[in-house]
Amino acid sequence: MSHAKRCALFAVLIALPATAAEKVAATVNGEDITVAELDAALAGVPAPMTPLSAIQKRQQRIEALNLLIDDTLVRQFLRQHGAKVEPAEVDRQLAALAASQKTQGKTLDQYLKETGLTVARITENFLRMLQLAKYVEAQATEDRLRAYHEANRDEFDRTTVKTSHIVLRIAATASPEERRKTTEKLRAIRADLAAGRTDFASAAKSHSQCPSASNGGDLGFIVRKFQADENYARAAFALKVGEVSGVVETEAGYHLIWVTDRKPGKASRYEEVAADVRDCFEAELKQNLLIELRKKAKIEIHLKN
């Protein structure tokens, strides 16, 4: 998932107030997300240049629902653990919103009517936004930011690696036995590569369940953070050119990764890239928070189509 999309997970999403009579799309720790809320979120998505297929529409709907689930998880976390926010801080945000509408020739009441929001809902949105900002601020100390820069020099030095992969897809609901068999198959392929019985491109064409298979598994160059799955990128940057990884698990499945090239970047000084360091630290902090919240959450999907 891209950096921009990861950041979007923490944006305050516009959502309509639920009523008991509305259909429920998902339930998160006992809190409902209605179909009306989902439709409102989708209404804000720019129309594509070409019409979407039925499958693409379904995928877009699932992605929008996942964003709403993530937003709900963060709201729940902040309700319980968020820092205290003074009413005056929220009032300033409301005043700024009213002022921005005025520059567009609109009133706050018109904005509320257009979005289906209430003052109470907007107030909560701003409260959670401010709490999230305070949460990040408390974590992003100077010492932590400097340590993050040191631990992720490949990112801030702009080093890139070129990779090819062989991926075997597996469902999130796959059994331990299915996972074991998939892992064993990749280990057997790796053994064939090590013994010279096949080459990586040929093995990718024969086994990889990715469109890149037709090109020998070539995925081109990647940067260290946010472009590829974190597990994939971490494994790739730990390899030398010409090395093949062991089995690496990501959200997409199980991989063998072959690093075919590496372009060292330019050594960076923290003071020169401090803004980038903070941005990356914040994005990863939020991403990791979501991962932990999802692990502990009870999420029920009711959406049928």
List the single range of 23-27, 42-46, 129-133 with lowest mean pLDDT. Answer: 42-46
Q: Is residue 125 part of a domain?
A: yes
Domain containing 24 — which CATH number? 1.10.4030
pTM given for the model: 0.76
- 81-137 pLDDT tens trace: 999 999 999 999 999 999 999 999 999 999 888 877 889 989 999 999 999 999 999
133 with 182, same domain: the answer is no
Categorize the per-residue pLDDT at 68 as very low, low, confident or very high, splitting at 50, 70 and 90. Answer: very high
| C-alpha angle 192-195-201 in degrees, rounded to nearest 5 | 50
Categorize the per-residue pLDDT at 305 as very low, low, confident or very high, splitting at 50, 70 and 90. Answer: low
- For residue 232, the tally of other CB atoms under 10 A from its CB is 23
Residues 179-190: what's their mean pLDDT? 97
120 with 168, same domain: the answer is no
List the single range of 56-60, 102-106, 135-139, 188-192 with lowest mean pLDDT. Answer: 56-60
Block residue for tokens 């502990």: 296
224 with 195, same domain: the answer is yes
- For residue 81, the tally of other CB atoms under 10 A from its CB is 9
12 with 132, same domain: the answer is yes
Q: Is residue 256 part of a domain?
A: yes
170 with 226, same domain: the answer is yes
* Burial degree of 37 (CB within 10 A; 0-12, 13-18, 19+): buried
* Alpha-helical segments (H) within the chain: 3-8, 35-43, 54-81, 87-103, 108-115, 119-139, 142-151, 153-156, 176-195, 200-207, 230-238, 270-296
| pLDDT value at 304 more than 80 | no
Higher-confidence position of 59 and 294: 294
Q: Is residue 26 part of a domain?
A: yes
Residues 158-163: what's their mean pLDDT? 98
184 with 286, same domain: the answer is no
Domain containing 204 — which CATH number? 3.10.50.40
- For residue 146, the tally of other CB atoms under 10 A from its CB is 14
Q: Is residue 236 part of a domain?
A: yes
Residues 66-71: what's their mean pLDDT? 93
Q: Output the six-digit token pair for 88.
A: 């005056």
- 220-253 pLDDT tens trace: 999 999 999 999 999 999 999 999 999 999 989 9
Q: Is residue 180 part of a domain?
A: yes
| pLDDT value at 12 more than 60 | no
- 196-214 pLDDT tens trace: 999 999 999 999 999 999 9
53 with 104, same domain: the answer is yes
Q: Is residue 150 part of a domain?
A: no
Q: Is residue 276 part of a domain?
A: no
Sequence-ordered list of residues with C-beta below 8 angstroms from that of 231, at least 6 positions apart, any chain: 248, 249, 250
209 with 255, same domain: the answer is yes
Q: Into how many domains does the chain fold?
A: 2
119 with 181, same domain: the answer is no
Question: How high is the mean pLDDT of the chain?
Answer: 90
Domain hosting residue 233, numbered range:
160-263
The span from the CA of 116 to the CA of 97, in Å, is 16
Q: Output the six-digit token pair for 199.
A: 């080459």
Sheet of strand 31-34, all strands in order from the earlier edge strand to the far edge: 31-34, 24-28, 299-301
Q: Is residue 191 part of a domain?
A: yes
166 with 241, same domain: the answer is yes
Block residue for tokens 């002022």: 99
Task: Give residue 8's pLDDT.
Answer: 45
| pLDDT value at 25 more than 90 | yes
- 243-287 pLDDT tens trace: 999 999 998 999 999 999 999 999 999 999 999 999 999 999 999
165 with 135, same domain: the answer is no
247 with 292, same domain: the answer is no
Picking from 69, 231, 60, 251, the residue whose alpha carbon sits closest to that of residue 174 is: 251
